[in-house]
Amino acid sequence: MMVRHQLKSRGIRDTRLLEAMGNVPRHVFVPREYVDQAYADGPLPIGGGQTISQPFMVAWMTELLTLTGQEKILEVGTGSGYQAAILSLLADRIFSIERSRELAAQARERLRWLGYGNVEVIEGDGSQGYPEGAPYDGIIVTAGAPDIPRPLLEQLAEVGRLVIPVGGSGMQMLVLAQRRGDEFPTRELGSCAFVPLLGRYGWSGRGDGRSRGGRL
Ligand code: SAM
């Protein structure tokens, strides 16, 4: 149902991705009180003002990474761990970084319990990337940034892809950047609405709206 009505009907074509979206048990990633809405066409609260993203948004951003199964991927914003579980079925190795200690611990345990063994959940500020695992063939940011954080571009492998919502704290533009040597050509793909990316290269955690990112 979800795959046919929400994903195929909106143009998601990657058959491996559609299969992964059909296989990952989304209801395990949502709080108990939302289990009956787990496969609905929207984001859901996961506590602490954070959300598990709409299934279509997960699929769209994942498809933009053009995964073949060989890649090393960084996800910024683990949240529930659902996006990481999808990536785990489509790429070789996943690093997923989350600033909330509680969410990181819950997602780590959930992913371990479900057997997604190629995902490493790290607690930290993902606006700075995760240099320990770099370079990455793909980086996916599941929170809205004021600008593209420079460290994320620097941690991309050659022809590596970065998918990131960029814009205001309410609405953003989904941006795809690809490394070509020292150049990072970008494409704007459509609007989206994510919770803010906090941290050093995101929206300031102090709520004063300042960021230290550099717009390309
Ligand atoms: N991908 C998640 C999923 O599948 O459930 C949804 C992510 S939720 C929309 C955004 C997440 O980004 C929140 O869990 C939030 O705590 C996290 N976040 C915000 N700023 C961050 C930062 N600088 N580093 C790491 N995580 C961050």
Tell me if the bond preceding 165 is cis, omega within 30° of 0. no
Ligand 1, atom 17, lies closest to the CA of 77
Encoded amino acid at 151, one letter: P
Q: From the first residue on, what is the mean pLDDT of each consecutive set of 10 residues in the chain (216 residues)?
A: 96 98 98 97 95 98 98 98 98 98 98 98 98 98 97 98 95 97 97 96 63 39
Q: Which domains does the chain have, with CATH numbers?
A: 2-215 (3.40.50.150)
CA-to-CA separations, 110 to 4, 33, 53, 85, in angstroms, rounded: 26, 17, 17, 10
Is 127 considered catalytic here?
no
Give residue 76 CA to ligand 1 midpoint distance, Å: 6
What pLDDT was estimated at residue 207?
A: 47
What pLDDT was estimated at residue 204?
A: 80
Q: Which atom of ligand 1 is nearest to the CA of 197?
A: 20
What pLDDT was estimated at residue 59?
A: 98
Check 9, 53, 96, 211 and give the catalytic one: 53
What pLDDT was estimated at residue 133?
A: 98
Query: Would you state the torsion angle of the CA atoms of residues 187, 192, 195, 196, taken in this order, to the nearest 10 degrees?
Result: 30
C-alpha to C-alpha distance for 46 and 92, rounded to whole angstroms: 27
**Secondary structure letter of residue 153 according to DSSP:** H
How many Å is the Cα radius of gyration of the chain?
A: 16
CA nearest neighbour of 199 among 126, 113, 136 = 126
Assign residue 148 a region (left: φ > 0; alpha: ψ between -120 and 50; beta: otherwise): beta
Ligand 1, atom 2, lies closest to the CA of 79
Query: Would you state the torsion angle of the CA atoms of residues 10, 14, 18, 23, taken in this order, to the nearest 10 degrees?
Result: -160
Q: At CA 158, angle to CA 175 and CA 86, rounded to 5?
A: 55
